[in-house]
A and B are shown apart, each in its own frame.
Chain A
Amino acid sequence: MIKVLFIEDDPQQIFLYQEVFNLKGLLTIIATTGDEAFKMLFSEKPDIILADIILQNENGLDIVGKIKHDSRYSAIPVVVFTNSDKQEYKDRALSLGTIDFIVKADTIPQEVAEKIKNIFKAYQSSKKN
């Protein structure tokens, strides 16, 4: 089972996506802050990270940046999952080495679950080569 670390702090969104992901076979763990995210990375060792950008006290891309600079976790694929489609964010996400940028409002949870599975599979096969 693929383990997903979902960095998000909005309660309704957490519930919605976590329940649907779990139903679709993605074991989902939640981190609402950067500190929590690192705790989860250490204790849970997720396979893929799904990160929101707009958080209460921080910018999700800053957290992704820290993760990518940490040699223990930099290999874990990161997908940005947000409602903010500012070009500036897209560019920064790309430069940080994230492998996809999904806009929440353009999709529904079930589709996202499938997408994550596909992204992870594709990432696995590209690593093998």
Chain B
Amino acid sequence: MNLSAALCNFEGAKYLLFSDNITPLVYYSHLPITIISLILGFFILFKGRKNLPNQILFFITFFFSAWVFLDSIFWASNRSDVIMFVWSLQILFEPLVHAGCLYLIYVLANKKDAPFMTKLIAGALYLPLIIFVPTAYSLSGFDLSSCLSVEGPIALYYTYLIEIIFSLWLVIYSFRKYRIFKVKDARKEILNLTLGAVLLLFSFSLGNIISSFSEDWRYAQIGLFTMPIFIGFLVYSIVKFKTFNIKLVAAQALVIAIIILIGSQFFFIQNSINRTLTAISLGLIIIFGWWLVRSVKVEIKRKEELAIANAELQKLDQAKNDFINIASHQLKTPISVIKGVISLVQDGTMDSFNEAKKKEFFEGARIKCQKLEIIVKDILNATSLINSKYSVMDKDVEAIALRELFAKIIKDFESEIKEREIEVRLLPSKEILPIIYGQRKYLEEAFSNLLTNAIKYTPSPKKTSDIRDTRIGKAFININLKRGGDKNVIISVADNGIGISKEDLPKLFKKFSRGQNAVNMYTDGTGLGLFVIKEIVEGHGGKVWVESELNKGSTFFVDLPIREQGGVNIKEYIIKKSADTNNNSQ
């Protein structure tokens, strides 16, 4: 049997889409929009094939474009079977756009996929549509006089019902998320995204809904104009998800809208003068638009960079303030003892004490004076190292016997070592150590800092009341000096102290940093000791690093270049190495 379709009372369409019976408005609204939406869809998919939000947005734009394309076929066709077919498909596709938007907002707000239950519910809502669309409940018949399908309850009510459900679901969900988010930026983001999605759906649906009920299908066209703008909105938000800036979006949206409007005029300008003028306008607007968007982008980027720099500065400022507090305490302590002892002498109170006690007072003042010297030297060295990158200079270099230097440093810290009952051992070398060349005062400072650090963070087990201290036995610090390779010496200072946690290791050698475990051991840290060591060692062409385990102990290693008999002149080597480092860091 050959069923030929009933035909409407006008000429058939050429190439499915083109017919003289349609007002230009339809072409103006449909074709550019289909193309633009598809382009946006493929663009977003190209930008992130594997990302879920990108995939969802492609899904939305695909079904929207398909819908628009089918709609243009609908307009052009005079065949009832074609119209019935495309209309049915449109009924199926339209709610998918709404469901897609809901899914998209969920995924963007939560940064993860929706739970299976949610998908199941959404699917359950959609299911009746799939079941009933091929039946008479959807499109019950065809009106040849108006060339339109007759909509049944499924097409008329159910589709709009589920679209409203999806849209409301989206809005309520977004509103709840907005309330939960405390951070201003996250709130702004969800607000913008929802606004975009809602306006998209609203403009899409409103036209259709009004048209359905008033039976004047021209109203549907209005909605289509705004669609690409909102799709662009969502595309942008996904591509630039981190910095969703309304200014930029508005600028881009405006420019795109103007380009579309002017470009579309080509579809129905007949006059060649008009065409030329339109072409010129389009060209100008594209150039201007590109420039405008670029300036807005630059401005936004600058603002972001400024905000980041600002945050960094504030952190550094806080660290400096902490340092000043600590330094002031460190300086005041020895001062108060010295001041106290002197005042005892001056007001005669000292005479009330016997000789032994007098000696002890003066010894106390001497110890504190020495301590004060060290702290002041520490702070001054650190300050000069902070202000300019240190690199040892030719004129400051002299020969240094490492073993001797370390022996002296250990003696300087004798009282503290005794007080803490730590055993400090300068281990004997298996071979004769070569001579190091360097700036003595700074190397002494660096090595002193290494020892101070080890002493500070290695309390004697029986003295500590820290219940986390799991060490047993005696506290020790082992200093080992040995030849590294051909051209260097390796110094290691190993203690069985409180150790350093993994989180603290990377920031250890930065200015003002103090490991978390050190916070409780407050006595002497200025937070600059390790920074100073690093600057001095690297300024000599060497390296410093640490191996540590929490509550087991730490070992600090320093690698320094040496002098070889008849080999490389070490002064030149150091200067060259420093120059290389400077070049590399530029």
Contacts and interface: CB of A to CB of B under 8 A. Distances in A.
Interface of A: 10-13, 15-17, 19-20, 23, 33-36, 54-59, 83-84, 86, 103-105, 108-110
Interface in B382-421: 419
Contacts of B464: 56-57
A54 B361 contact: no
A20 B344 contact: yes
A15 B356 CA distance: 12
Given A83-B333, A84-B329, A108-B343, A16 B361 contact: yes
A58 B469 CA distance: 13
Given A57-B459, A109-B344, A10 B465 contact: no
B349 interface: yes
Contact of A34 (B325, B332, B465): B465
A23 B367 CA distance: 23
Contacts of A10: 333
Given A83-B336, A108-B339, A110-B343, A23 B465 contact: no
24 contacts: A10-B333, A11-B364, A11-B419, A16-B361, A19-B357, A20-B340, A23-B352, A34-B465, A54-B329, A56-B463, A56-B464, A56-B523, A58-B465, A59-B522, A83-B336, A84-B325, A103-B332, A104-B333, A105-B335, A105-B336, A108-B343, A108-B344, A109-B340, A110-B343
Interface string B338-356: 0111011001010011000
B374 to A, nearest CB: 15
Contacts of A84: 325, 329
Contacts of B335: 105
A16 B465 contact: no
B486 interface: no
Nearest to A36: B465
Contacts of B332: 83, 103-105
A90 to B, nearest CB: 13
Given A15-B361, A23-B352, A83-B333, A56 B347 contact: no
Contacts of B337: 12-13, 16
Given A83-B336, A105-B332, A110-B344, A15 B360 contact: yes
B520 interface: yes
Interface string B418-435: 010000000000000000
A53 to B, nearest CB: 9
Contacts of A86: 325
B465 A57 contact: yes
A20 B339 CA distance: 14
Nearest to B464: A57
B347 A110 contact: yes
Contacts of A33: 465
B339 to A, nearest CB: 6
Given A12-B368, A84-B325, A104-B332, 5 more contacts: A19-B357, A20-B349, A59-B522, A86-B325, A103-B332
Residue from the set A15, A16, A54, A59 with the largest chain B CB neighbour count within 10 Å: A16
Contacts of A54: 329, 522-523
B357 A57 contact: no
A39 to B, nearest CB: 11
Contacts of A110: 343-344, 347, 349
Contacts of B333: 10, 13, 83, 104-105
Of B339, B365, B459, the most chain A CB neighbours within 10 A belong to B339
A57 B466 contact: yes
B311 interface: no
Contacts of A105: 332-333, 335-336, 339
A16 B339 CA distance: 11
For the complex of A and B, 9 pairs with smallest distance between CB atoms: A12-B364, A105-B332, A83-B332, A104-B336, A108-B343, A105-B336, A33-B465, A84-B329, A57-B466
B521 interface: yes
Nearest to B522: A54
Nearest to A56: B523
A20 to B, nearest CB: 7
Nearest to A35: B465
A119 B332 CA distance: 24
Nearest to B363: A12
B495 to A, nearest CB: 16
B439 to A, nearest CB: 32
Contacts of A15: 360-361, 364
A13 B465 CA distance: 20
A83 B330 CA distance: 8
A23 B521 contact: no
B537 to A, nearest CB: 28
For B333, B344, B459, B521, the residue with the greatest tally of chain A CB atoms inside 10 Å of its CB is B333
B459 A56 contact: yes
Interface centre among B337, B352, B367, B419 (most CB of A within 10 A): B337
Interface in B205-246: none
